[in-house]
Structure 1
Amino acid sequence: MTLKIVADIAACKGTACCMMESPDLCDVDETTGKVVVLVDEIDDARRADAETAVRACPTKALELRDC
């Protein structure tokens, strides 16, 4: 199953917890201070990293969805 990380930009407070936990999947835009998802699709090999990034967000601005 392929998943994607969906970001709620309005909920993002720019804590960068997702980026610290999964820097290959998430970044923070220097201009807006909001999350930027770097990967369009999450395969099984990256699922654990994606789940870690989602759990790390203190504002629950990230979620995993089926593609």
Structure 2
Amino acid sequence: MSLHVIFESAKCQGYANCLIEAPELWDFDEDNNTAVLRLENPHDALRAHAEASARCCPAQAIRVEGPA
């Protein structure tokens, strides 16, 4: 199983902390004030960034799954 980022957009409150932590993985929709996941299955080299974006989300809208 590869690295998989799960984003529950309905929980997103628009803080954009994920974008700050991992701009390679995230974008921001200013019209809807919500994050946009660009890569659901990023390369393992981006694991630390994906995990940081999940940790810093105040709404707990992000999870990272896959082998360590």
Identity %: 36
| Contact persistence 1:7–1:35 (CA under 8 A) | no
Structure 1 alignment gaps of length 5 or more: none
Give the equivalent residue in structure 1 for 2:47: 47
TM-score normalised per structure 2: 0.85
**Cα separation, 2, equivalents of 1:31 and 1:2:** 32
Give the equivalent residue in structure 2 for 1:17: 17
Q: Secondary structure at the match of 1:47?
A: helix
Task: Please say if 1:30 is aligned against 2:30.
Answer: yes
Q: Report the more deviating stretch, 11-20 or 24-33.
A: 24-33
TM-score normalised per structure 1: 0.86
Cα offset for 1:45?
0.7
Structure 2 alignment gaps of length 5 or more: none
Q: How many positions carry a matched residue from both structures?
A: 66
* Structure 1 runs (4+) greater than 2 angstroms displaced: none
